Structure 1
Amino acid sequence: MQGNPHRVSDVMTRAVVAVNRETLFKDIVERMERWQVSALPVLEGDGRVIGLVSEADLLPKEEFRDSDPDRITQVRRLSDLAKAGAVSAEEMMSMPAVTVHADATLPEAARIMALRHVKRLPVVNAEGLLEGMVSRGDLLKVFLRPDNDLADEIRRDVLDVLFPAPVEPVHVTVVDGVATLTGRVRDAARIPLAARLVQGVEGVVGVDCRLTPATDG
Protein backbone atom coordinates (compact mmCIF):
# COMPACT_ATOMS: atom_id res chain seq x y z
CA MET A 1 0.00 0.00 0.00
CA GLN A 2 2.73 2.44 0.93
CA GLY A 3 5.52 3.82 -1.25
CA ASN A 4 8.81 2.08 -1.81
CA PRO A 5 10.80 2.02 1.44
CA HIS A 6 14.13 3.75 1.65
CA ARG A 7 17.09 1.45 1.24
CA VAL A 8 20.59 1.51 2.64
CA SER A 9 21.76 2.60 -0.82
CA ASP A 10 19.73 5.81 -0.40
CA VAL A 11 21.65 7.00 2.66
CA MET A 12 25.03 5.24 2.72
CA THR A 13 28.39 6.92 2.20
CA ARG A 14 29.90 5.64 -1.03
CA ALA A 15 33.38 7.19 -0.79
CA VAL A 16 34.95 5.07 1.94
CA VAL A 17 38.44 5.17 3.40
CA ALA A 18 39.73 1.66 4.08
CA VAL A 19 42.85 -0.14 5.25
CA ASN A 20 44.39 -3.57 4.70
CA ARG A 21 45.72 -6.17 7.12
CA GLU A 22 49.20 -4.65 7.23
CA THR A 23 48.17 -1.03 7.88
CA LEU A 24 49.96 0.17 11.01
CA PHE A 25 48.41 1.64 14.15
CA LYS A 26 49.61 5.20 13.62
CA ASP A 27 48.47 5.22 10.00
CA ILE A 28 45.02 4.08 11.10
CA VAL A 29 44.79 6.91 13.64
CA GLU A 30 45.96 9.43 11.04
CA ARG A 31 43.35 8.30 8.52
CA MET A 32 40.57 8.51 11.09
CA GLU A 33 41.64 12.02 12.01
CA ARG A 34 42.09 13.18 8.41
CA TRP A 35 38.74 11.86 7.21
CA GLN A 36 36.81 12.42 10.45
CA VAL A 37 35.60 8.84 10.72
CA SER A 38 35.45 6.54 13.74
CA ALA A 39 35.96 3.22 11.98
CA LEU A 40 37.64 1.80 8.89
CA PRO A 41 36.82 -1.39 6.99
CA VAL A 42 39.71 -3.80 6.53
CA LEU A 43 39.99 -5.14 2.99
CA GLU A 44 41.93 -7.79 1.21
CA GLY A 45 42.33 -8.81 -2.40
CA ASP A 46 40.04 -6.93 -4.75
CA GLY A 47 38.10 -5.21 -1.97
CA ARG A 48 36.51 -7.97 0.08
CA VAL A 49 35.65 -6.86 3.60
CA ILE A 50 37.28 -9.07 6.22
CA GLY A 51 36.94 -6.91 9.33
CA LEU A 52 36.47 -3.49 10.85
CA VAL A 53 38.83 -1.47 13.00
CA SER A 54 37.23 1.22 15.14
CA GLU A 55 38.21 3.72 17.78
CA ALA A 56 37.11 1.16 20.38
CA ASP A 57 39.72 -1.24 18.99
CA LEU A 58 42.44 1.41 19.29
CA LEU A 59 41.67 2.73 22.77
CA PRO A 60 43.08 -0.22 24.76
CA LYS A 61 46.58 0.86 23.73
CA GLU A 62 46.06 4.12 25.63
CA GLU A 63 44.01 2.58 28.44
CA PHE A 64 46.69 0.03 29.36
CA ARG A 65 49.68 2.14 28.35
CA ASP A 66 50.97 2.75 31.89
CA SER A 67 49.01 0.17 33.89
CA ASP A 68 49.72 -3.27 35.21
CA PRO A 69 46.32 -5.02 35.21
CA ASP A 70 45.60 -7.53 37.93
CA ARG A 71 44.80 -11.16 37.20
CA ILE A 72 41.01 -10.64 37.20
CA THR A 73 41.33 -7.83 34.66
CA GLN A 74 43.64 -9.95 32.55
CA VAL A 75 41.01 -12.68 32.39
CA ARG A 76 38.07 -10.35 31.78
CA ARG A 77 39.83 -8.10 29.27
CA LEU A 78 41.98 -10.61 27.45
CA SER A 79 40.91 -9.39 24.01
CA ASP A 80 41.48 -5.73 24.89
CA LEU A 81 44.88 -6.51 26.37
CA ALA A 82 45.84 -8.24 23.13
CA LYS A 83 44.74 -5.16 21.18
CA ALA A 84 46.80 -2.96 23.51
CA GLY A 85 49.92 -4.68 22.22
CA ALA A 86 48.82 -4.70 18.58
CA VAL A 87 50.58 -2.72 15.87
CA SER A 88 48.60 -3.58 12.72
CA ALA A 89 44.98 -3.64 11.59
CA GLU A 90 45.01 -7.42 11.41
CA GLU A 91 45.81 -7.65 15.13
CA MET A 92 43.19 -5.11 16.18
CA MET A 93 40.24 -5.52 13.84
CA SER A 94 36.92 -7.00 14.83
CA MET A 95 36.13 -9.95 12.62
CA PRO A 96 34.23 -11.26 10.88
CA ALA A 97 32.82 -7.88 9.92
CA VAL A 98 29.11 -7.33 10.48
CA THR A 99 27.87 -6.13 7.10
CA VAL A 100 24.70 -5.20 5.25
CA HIS A 101 23.62 -5.18 1.61
CA ALA A 102 22.72 -1.99 -0.23
CA ASP A 103 19.17 -3.16 -0.93
CA ALA A 104 18.38 -3.74 2.75
CA THR A 105 15.70 -1.46 4.18
CA LEU A 106 16.60 1.08 6.84
CA PRO A 107 14.69 -0.83 9.56
CA GLU A 108 16.61 -3.98 8.62
CA ALA A 109 19.92 -2.14 8.96
CA ALA A 110 18.83 -0.62 12.26
CA ARG A 111 17.93 -4.06 13.63
CA ILE A 112 21.33 -5.45 12.65
CA MET A 113 23.06 -2.57 14.44
CA ALA A 114 20.95 -3.06 17.55
CA LEU A 115 21.32 -6.83 17.70
CA ARG A 116 25.06 -6.79 17.02
CA HIS A 117 25.78 -3.69 19.14
CA VAL A 118 27.59 -1.81 16.37
CA LYS A 119 27.40 1.83 15.30
CA ARG A 120 28.12 1.42 11.62
CA LEU A 121 28.07 -1.25 8.94
CA PRO A 122 30.17 -1.82 5.82
CA VAL A 123 27.86 -2.15 2.83
CA VAL A 124 28.84 -5.06 0.60
CA ASN A 125 27.63 -6.71 -2.59
CA ALA A 126 26.86 -10.40 -3.06
CA GLU A 127 30.58 -11.21 -3.34
CA GLY A 128 31.41 -9.37 -0.11
CA LEU A 129 33.10 -6.47 -1.90
CA LEU A 130 32.87 -3.05 -0.28
CA GLU A 131 30.31 -0.63 -1.73
CA GLY A 132 30.00 1.91 1.08
CA MET A 133 29.41 2.50 4.77
CA VAL A 134 26.22 3.24 6.68
CA SER A 135 26.11 4.66 10.20
CA ARG A 136 23.46 5.27 12.81
CA GLY A 137 23.40 8.90 11.73
CA ASP A 138 22.76 7.89 8.13
CA LEU A 139 19.71 5.87 9.19
CA LEU A 140 18.31 8.93 10.97
CA LYS A 141 18.44 11.05 7.79
CA VAL A 142 14.98 9.80 6.90
CA PHE A 143 13.62 11.97 9.74
CA LEU A 144 14.81 15.05 7.86
CA ARG A 145 12.06 14.61 5.26
CA PRO A 146 9.97 17.79 4.95
CA ASP A 147 6.60 17.76 6.70
CA ASN A 148 4.73 18.51 3.47
CA ASP A 149 6.35 15.47 1.78
CA LEU A 150 5.21 13.27 4.65
CA ALA A 151 1.68 14.68 4.49
CA ASP A 152 1.50 14.07 0.74
CA GLU A 153 2.61 10.44 1.14
CA ILE A 154 0.21 9.80 4.01
CA ARG A 155 -2.69 11.27 2.05
CA ARG A 156 -1.87 9.41 -1.16
CA ASP A 157 -0.76 6.03 0.15
CA VAL A 158 -2.84 5.63 3.31
CA LEU A 159 -5.88 7.85 3.67
CA ASP A 160 -7.07 7.89 0.07
CA VAL A 161 -6.73 4.10 -0.06
CA LEU A 162 -8.35 3.23 3.27
CA PHE A 163 -11.08 5.86 3.14
CA PRO A 164 -12.07 6.43 -0.50
CA ALA A 165 -15.53 7.69 0.47
CA PRO A 166 -15.40 9.35 3.89
CA VAL A 167 -18.39 11.01 5.46
CA GLU A 168 -16.41 14.23 5.45
CA PRO A 169 -12.92 15.04 4.13
CA VAL A 170 -10.14 13.27 6.00
CA HIS A 171 -7.30 15.66 6.72
CA VAL A 172 -3.67 15.16 7.65
CA THR A 173 -1.28 17.77 8.96
CA VAL A 174 2.35 17.12 9.82
CA VAL A 175 4.32 19.35 12.16
CA ASP A 176 7.87 18.46 13.16
CA GLY A 177 7.26 14.93 11.92
CA VAL A 178 4.11 14.36 14.00
CA ALA A 179 1.09 13.50 11.84
CA THR A 180 -2.40 14.50 12.98
CA LEU A 181 -5.36 12.79 11.31
CA THR A 182 -8.84 14.28 11.52
CA GLY A 183 -12.22 13.51 9.96
CA ARG A 184 -15.22 11.19 10.13
CA VAL A 185 -15.13 7.85 8.33
CA ARG A 186 -17.63 5.12 7.57
CA ASP A 187 -15.48 2.11 8.48
CA ALA A 188 -14.42 2.50 12.12
CA ALA A 189 -12.49 -0.78 12.00
CA ARG A 190 -9.96 0.83 9.69
CA ILE A 191 -9.04 3.63 12.07
CA PRO A 192 -6.42 1.64 14.08
CA LEU A 193 -5.00 0.34 10.80
CA ALA A 194 -4.66 3.87 9.49
CA ALA A 195 -2.72 4.91 12.60
CA ARG A 196 -0.35 1.94 12.24
CA LEU A 197 0.26 2.56 8.55
CA VAL A 198 0.93 6.26 9.10
CA GLN A 199 3.40 5.41 11.86
CA GLY A 200 5.13 3.17 9.32
CA VAL A 201 5.72 6.00 6.86
CA GLU A 202 9.45 6.67 6.91
CA GLY A 203 10.18 9.97 8.59
CA VAL A 204 7.06 10.07 10.76
CA VAL A 205 7.95 10.73 14.39
CA GLY A 206 4.52 10.19 15.91
CA VAL A 207 0.80 9.95 15.11
CA ASP A 208 -2.14 11.77 16.69
CA CYS A 209 -5.15 9.93 15.28
CA ARG A 210 -8.37 11.89 15.76
CA LEU A 211 -10.41 10.05 13.18
CA THR A 212 -13.92 9.27 14.39
CA PRO A 213 -16.55 6.85 13.10
CA ALA A 214 -19.66 8.21 11.48
CA THR A 215 -22.88 7.83 13.45
CA ASP A 216 -26.24 7.28 11.83
CA GLY A 217 -28.82 10.03 11.73
Structure 2
Amino acid sequence: MRHRTVGELMAATPVSVRAGTPFKEIARLLDEFDITAVPVVDEDGRPVGVVSEADLLHRRATGTGSTTAAAIMSSPAITASPDWSVVRATRVMGRHAVKRLPVVDATGRLVGVLSRSDLVQLYLRRDKSIREEIVEDVLTRTLRLSPSAVSVEVDDGVVTLSGTVERRMLVPVVVRLCHSVDGVVDVIDRLAYERDDTVAT
Protein backbone atom coordinates (compact mmCIF):
# COMPACT_ATOMS: atom_id res chain seq x y z
CA MET A 1 0.00 0.00 0.00
CA ARG A 2 1.51 3.28 -1.14
CA HIS A 3 0.84 6.68 0.38
CA ARG A 4 1.53 10.15 -0.91
CA THR A 5 4.78 11.78 0.14
CA VAL A 6 5.71 15.36 0.91
CA GLY A 7 7.74 15.48 -2.30
CA GLU A 8 4.63 14.75 -4.37
CA LEU A 9 2.52 17.47 -2.77
CA MET A 10 4.97 20.30 -2.12
CA ALA A 11 5.36 23.44 -4.19
CA ALA A 12 8.63 22.68 -6.01
CA THR A 13 9.48 26.29 -6.86
CA PRO A 14 9.43 27.82 -3.39
CA VAL A 15 9.55 31.52 -2.69
CA SER A 16 12.34 32.35 -0.25
CA VAL A 17 14.17 35.38 1.12
CA ARG A 18 17.60 36.08 2.54
CA ALA A 19 18.40 37.28 6.05
CA GLY A 20 18.82 40.85 4.85
CA THR A 21 15.52 41.08 2.94
CA PRO A 22 13.59 44.17 4.15
CA PHE A 23 10.24 44.02 5.93
CA LYS A 24 8.32 45.66 3.06
CA GLU A 25 9.78 43.29 0.47
CA ILE A 26 8.69 40.29 2.54
CA ALA A 27 5.18 41.72 2.87
CA ARG A 28 5.06 42.28 -0.90
CA LEU A 29 6.10 38.68 -1.62
CA LEU A 30 3.48 37.24 0.74
CA ASP A 31 0.82 39.30 -1.02
CA GLU A 32 2.06 38.65 -4.56
CA PHE A 33 2.26 34.89 -4.18
CA ASP A 34 -0.74 34.62 -1.83
CA ILE A 35 1.22 32.75 0.84
CA THR A 36 1.24 33.02 4.63
CA ALA A 37 4.94 32.50 5.31
CA VAL A 38 8.29 32.42 3.55
CA PRO A 39 11.52 30.53 4.38
CA VAL A 40 14.67 32.52 5.10
CA VAL A 41 17.71 30.85 3.53
CA ASP A 42 21.47 31.35 3.92
CA GLU A 43 23.95 31.76 1.07
CA ASP A 44 23.90 27.99 0.45
CA GLY A 45 20.12 27.83 0.17
CA ARG A 46 19.60 26.21 3.57
CA PRO A 47 16.61 27.39 5.64
CA VAL A 48 17.62 29.25 8.81
CA GLY A 49 14.17 30.47 9.76
CA VAL A 50 10.67 31.36 8.58
CA VAL A 51 8.88 34.72 8.44
CA SER A 52 5.10 34.43 8.73
CA GLU A 53 2.29 36.94 8.48
CA ALA A 54 2.04 36.76 12.26
CA ASP A 55 5.72 37.75 12.58
CA LEU A 56 5.15 40.75 10.32
CA LEU A 57 2.03 41.86 12.16
CA HIS A 58 3.72 41.49 15.54
CA ARG A 59 6.67 43.58 14.39
CA ARG A 60 4.34 46.19 12.90
CA ALA A 61 2.37 46.38 16.14
CA THR A 62 5.52 47.13 18.09
CA GLY A 63 6.22 50.09 15.82
CA THR A 64 9.45 48.78 14.30
CA GLY A 65 8.41 48.04 10.73
CA SER A 66 11.67 48.89 8.98
CA THR A 67 13.67 45.77 9.70
CA THR A 68 14.96 42.65 8.00
CA ALA A 69 14.03 38.97 7.82
CA ALA A 70 16.81 38.04 10.25
CA ALA A 71 15.30 40.24 12.96
CA ILE A 72 11.72 39.02 12.70
CA MET A 73 11.97 35.39 11.60
CA SER A 74 11.09 32.39 13.73
CA SER A 75 14.22 30.28 14.10
CA PRO A 76 15.32 27.55 13.69
CA ALA A 77 13.15 26.55 10.72
CA ILE A 78 11.01 23.44 11.20
CA THR A 79 11.69 21.45 8.04
CA ALA A 80 10.49 18.29 6.30
CA SER A 81 12.06 15.76 3.95
CA PRO A 82 10.58 14.97 0.51
CA ASP A 83 10.25 11.29 1.42
CA TRP A 84 8.18 11.95 4.56
CA SER A 85 4.61 10.64 4.54
CA VAL A 86 1.92 13.28 4.60
CA VAL A 87 0.79 11.86 7.95
CA ARG A 88 4.18 12.63 9.48
CA ALA A 89 4.21 16.13 7.97
CA THR A 90 0.72 16.84 9.29
CA ARG A 91 1.71 15.77 12.80
CA VAL A 92 4.82 17.98 12.73
CA MET A 93 2.73 20.96 11.57
CA GLY A 94 0.29 20.37 14.39
CA ARG A 95 2.98 19.85 17.03
CA HIS A 96 4.76 23.08 16.13
CA ALA A 97 1.60 25.05 15.21
CA VAL A 98 2.93 26.04 11.77
CA LYS A 99 1.06 26.33 8.47
CA ARG A 100 3.98 25.74 6.12
CA LEU A 101 7.03 23.46 6.19
CA PRO A 102 10.18 24.17 4.18
CA VAL A 103 11.23 20.92 2.48
CA VAL A 104 14.96 20.21 2.32
CA ASP A 105 17.09 17.63 0.49
CA ALA A 106 19.78 15.42 2.02
CA THR A 107 22.21 18.36 2.10
CA GLY A 108 19.76 20.62 3.93
CA ARG A 109 19.03 22.84 0.90
CA LEU A 110 15.53 24.13 0.26
CA VAL A 111 13.77 22.19 -2.51
CA GLY A 112 10.13 22.99 -1.81
CA VAL A 113 7.48 24.16 0.62
CA LEU A 114 4.52 22.16 1.93
CA SER A 115 1.49 24.13 3.06
CA ARG A 116 -1.72 23.19 4.84
CA SER A 117 -3.61 23.89 1.62
CA ASP A 118 -1.48 21.22 -0.10
CA LEU A 119 -2.57 18.71 2.55
CA VAL A 120 -6.21 19.72 2.21
CA GLN A 121 -6.06 18.54 -1.42
CA LEU A 122 -5.84 14.96 -0.12
CA TYR A 123 -9.32 15.26 1.33
CA LEU A 124 -10.76 16.20 -2.05
CA ARG A 125 -10.33 12.62 -3.30
CA ARG A 126 -13.49 11.07 -4.64
CA ASP A 127 -15.23 8.53 -2.43
CA LYS A 128 -14.99 5.96 -5.23
CA SER A 129 -11.18 6.25 -5.33
CA ILE A 130 -10.94 5.91 -1.56
CA ARG A 131 -13.16 2.82 -1.57
CA GLU A 132 -11.15 1.21 -4.37
CA GLU A 133 -7.88 1.70 -2.50
CA ILE A 134 -9.32 0.25 0.71
CA VAL A 135 -10.78 -2.80 -1.02
CA GLU A 136 -7.88 -3.52 -3.35
CA ASP A 137 -4.85 -2.42 -1.29
CA VAL A 138 -5.87 -2.65 2.37
CA LEU A 139 -8.23 -5.60 2.44
CA THR A 140 -7.15 -7.75 -0.51
CA ARG A 141 -3.45 -7.09 -1.07
CA THR A 142 -2.23 -6.18 2.43
CA LEU A 143 -4.51 -8.19 4.73
CA ARG A 144 -5.42 -10.89 2.20
CA LEU A 145 -9.06 -10.80 3.18
CA SER A 146 -11.84 -11.87 0.85
CA PRO A 147 -13.55 -8.79 -0.67
CA SER A 148 -16.87 -10.37 0.23
CA ALA A 149 -15.95 -10.60 3.93
CA VAL A 150 -15.92 -6.85 4.60
CA SER A 151 -18.31 -4.29 3.18
CA VAL A 152 -16.85 -0.82 2.59
CA GLU A 153 -18.98 2.30 2.19
CA VAL A 154 -17.51 5.77 1.77
CA ASP A 155 -19.52 8.97 2.12
CA ASP A 156 -17.69 12.33 2.01
CA GLY A 157 -14.49 10.64 3.16
CA VAL A 158 -16.15 8.82 6.06
CA VAL A 159 -15.56 5.07 5.77
CA THR A 160 -18.04 2.59 7.23
CA LEU A 161 -16.78 -0.98 7.65
CA SER A 162 -19.18 -3.87 8.20
CA GLY A 163 -18.98 -7.62 7.83
CA THR A 164 -17.06 -10.33 9.65
CA VAL A 165 -13.36 -11.07 9.94
CA GLU A 166 -11.85 -14.28 11.25
CA ARG A 167 -10.05 -12.94 14.33
CA ARG A 168 -10.87 -10.13 16.76
CA MET A 169 -7.29 -8.80 16.67
CA LEU A 170 -7.71 -8.04 12.97
CA VAL A 171 -10.40 -5.43 13.63
CA PRO A 172 -8.14 -2.62 14.98
CA VAL A 173 -5.60 -3.40 12.25
CA VAL A 174 -8.21 -2.95 9.50
CA VAL A 175 -9.44 0.28 11.07
CA ARG A 176 -5.93 1.70 11.49
CA LEU A 177 -4.94 0.92 7.90
CA CYS A 178 -8.15 2.49 6.59
CA HIS A 179 -7.42 5.64 8.60
CA SER A 180 -4.04 5.89 6.86
CA VAL A 181 -5.55 5.98 3.36
CA ASP A 182 -5.30 9.40 1.73
CA GLY A 183 -8.61 11.25 1.84
CA VAL A 184 -10.15 9.32 4.75
CA VAL A 185 -11.74 11.68 7.26
CA ASP A 186 -13.03 9.07 9.74
CA VAL A 187 -13.67 5.33 10.02
CA ILE A 188 -16.84 3.85 11.50
CA ASP A 189 -16.19 0.32 12.76
CA ARG A 190 -19.14 -2.07 12.56
CA LEU A 191 -17.03 -5.20 12.10
CA ALA A 192 -17.80 -8.51 13.77
CA TYR A 193 -15.39 -11.41 14.28
CA GLU A 194 -15.63 -15.19 14.32
CA ARG A 195 -13.03 -15.90 16.99
CA ASP A 196 -11.83 -13.87 19.99
CA ASP A 197 -8.08 -14.35 19.90
CA THR A 198 -7.51 -11.69 22.57
CA VAL A 199 -8.53 -14.11 25.30
CA ALA A 200 -5.97 -16.68 26.47
CA THR A 201 -7.21 -20.27 26.21
| Counterpart AA for 2:129 | D
> How far apart are residue 163 of structure 1 and its match?
5.8
Matched, 1:149 2:147: no
Within 2, Cα distance between the matches of 1:12 and 1:182? 36
1:50–1:95 Cα contact (<8 Å) kept: yes
Within 2, Cα distance between the matches of 1:124 and 1:164? 39
Equivalent in the alignment of 1:38: 36
| Counterpart AA for 2:35 | V
Within 1, Cα distance between the matches of 2:185 and 2:143? 21
| Deviates further, 127-136 or 112-121 | 112-121
Which of 116, 126, 151 aligns to 2:96? It is 116
Equivalent in the alignment of 1:9: 7
In structure 2, do the counterparts of structure 1 residues 21 and 179 end up closer, same or farther at CA, with 3 Å as the change threshold? same
1:134-168 deviation per Cα after TM superposition (whole angstroms, max 9, x unaligned): 112222222111111111111112222546358x5
Q: Which TM-score applies when normalising by structure 2?
A: 0.85
Structure 2 stretches lacking a partner, 5+ long: 196-201
Q: What are the within-5 Å matches in structure 2 for residues 1-217 of structure 1?
A: 3-65=1-63, 84=64, 87-160=67-140, 161-162=142-143, 164-165=145-146, 169-213=149-193
1:86–1:92 Cα contact (<8 Å) kept: no
Within 2, Cα distance between the matches of 1:85 and 1:20? 17
In structure 2, do the counterparts of structure 1 residues 169 and 30 end up closer, same or farther at CA, with 3 Å as the change threshold? same
| Counterpart AA for 2:77 | A
1:8–1:105 Cα contact (<8 Å) kept: yes
Structure 1 stretches lacking a partner, 5+ long: 66-83
| Counterpart AA for 1:96 | P
2:22–2:66 Cα contact (<8 Å) kept: no
Within 2, Cα distance between the matches of 1:214 and 1:96? 53
Superposed CA RMSD in Å reads 2.2
Equivalent in the alignment of 2:199: none
> How far apart are residue 128 of structure 1 and its match?
1.3
> Which of structures 1 and 2 has the bigger CA Rg?
1
Identity %: 40
| Counterpart AA for 2:103 | V
In structure 2, do the counterparts of structure 1 residues 188 and 96 end up closer, same or farther at CA, with 3 Å as the change threshold? closer
Within 2, Cα distance between the matches of 1:159 and 1:114? 30
Runs of 4+ in 1 over 3 A off after TM superposition: 161-166, 184-189
> How far apart are residue 99 of structure 1 and its match?
0.8
| Deviates further, 11-20 or 153-162 | 153-162
| Counterpart AA for 1:183 | G
